[in-house]
Amino acid sequence: MTTRLLVTGGAGFIGSHYVRTLLGPGGPPDVVVTVLDALTYAGNPANLDPVRDDPRLVFIPGDICDAPLVDQVMAGHDQVVHFAAESHVDRSLLDASAFVRTNAGGTQTLLDAALRHGVAPFVQVSTDEVYGSAERDAWSEDEPLRPNSPYSASKASADLLALAQHVSHGLDVRVTRCANNYGPYQYPEKLIPRFATLLLDGNKVPLYGDGLHVREWLHVDDHVRAIEAVRARGRAGRVYNIGGTALTNRELVGLLLKECDAEWDSVEYVEDRKGHDRRYALDSSRISRELGFTPATDLSTGLAATLDWYRAHRSWWEPIVVRRARQA
């Protein structure tokens, strides 16, 4: 039987990778996909070009906060994978309103429509940032949420609203909390594509604070495989951490410099980000034990491939970089 899947935010970085993968040669049989995406600054229809003519794909430009539209779209579907979000911490520090509106309000709008129309599972795609800074051990899924930025607080709100929909109303909701992603088609405001595009143009890169903040990094291919495992075989009401390779921002920048044949004099230390969490660390044993998921792409191979992609796709990122410079 054909599964009719609603993918929100499918024109963004991870959502479009998910859709290209589902509709690609290794994708599941009998899936048709509707992308609902408001095409904010981060949404780019070109991200779906490789599958644009696939008859299994329908694109609906629209806002997840638009309740009548969401109700109408939800009605024709069996399952939801929810990526749509305001996703950049720095922007949330300048103005949190869109984050609360989309990440919390939009998620509730989707959850209500999913409940009305019996659409499940509802996969809520979330982030390790909801746990706050990990001072000692790695976080398990039972760790209390202590988000420190407006972005992570709005994502934590969405997770709690999603889990409440499961407890209160019995909707099959599954939450994934993933580490930092990297890969092709990532909007060049996030660390790896921003630094890569700056270095490829021979510019300096700005490194926050002392550069010793620790993050885990996962190739977007692996994140998408993990989400598919959760959609297909996960349990209702369950949260799944999805970790990656841990390193300091300084170590990561060292790898990027090497990839771009640049030296440390290309790095400018800048004032630290407000409320910058020192360390994220995930215990990902649940998804490995219960769903058999482990990452397949090691960081150095994944980074090299990502840099190759940015080298080969200037026509994708140069207009964005020019637009960002004009707006600055």
Nearer to ligand NAD, 67 or 266 (CB): 67
Those residues whose C-beta lies under 8 Å from the C-beta of residue 326, and which sit 6 or more positions away, are none
Q: How far apart are CA 143 and CA 136, in angstroms?
A: 12
Those residues whose C-beta lies under 8 Å from the C-beta of residue 55, and which sit 6 or more positions away, are none
Q: Is 128 a catalytic residue?
A: yes
Residues 230/240, Cβ–Cβ less than 8 Å: yes
Candidates 275, 82, 94; CA nearest to 171 is 82
Q: Which stretch binds ligand NAD (CB under 6 A): 13-21, 202-210, 247-255, 268-276?
A: 13-21
Min CB(40)–ligand NAD separation in Å: 4
DSSP result, 259-289: HTT--GGGEEEEPPPTT--SB--B--HHHHH
Would you give the binding string for ligand NAD spanning residues 243-272, x where CB under 6 A is met?
------------------------------
Q: Which stretch binds ligand NAD (CB under 6 A): 39-47, 89-97, 195-203, 270-278?
A: 39-47
Cα angle 115, 116, 119 (rounded to 5 degrees) comes to 55
Q: Does 295 bind ligand NAD (CB under 6 A)?
A: no
Q: Is 151 a catalytic residue?
A: yes
**In the numeric block, which tokens belong to residue 227?**
């989400």
Nearer to ligand NAD, 34 or 181 (CB): 181
Min CB(18)–ligand NAD separation in Å: 9
Sign of CA dihedral 136, 137, 143, 149: positive
Number of residues lying near ligand NAD (CB under 6 A): 30
Q: Does 13 bind ligand NAD (CB under 6 A)?
A: yes
Q: Is 259 a catalytic residue?
A: no
Positions annotated as catalytic residues are: 128-129, 151
Contact set with ligand NAD (CB under 6 A) = 8-9, 11-15, 37-40, 42-43, 63-65, 83-87, 102, 106, 125, 127, 155, 178, 180-181, 187
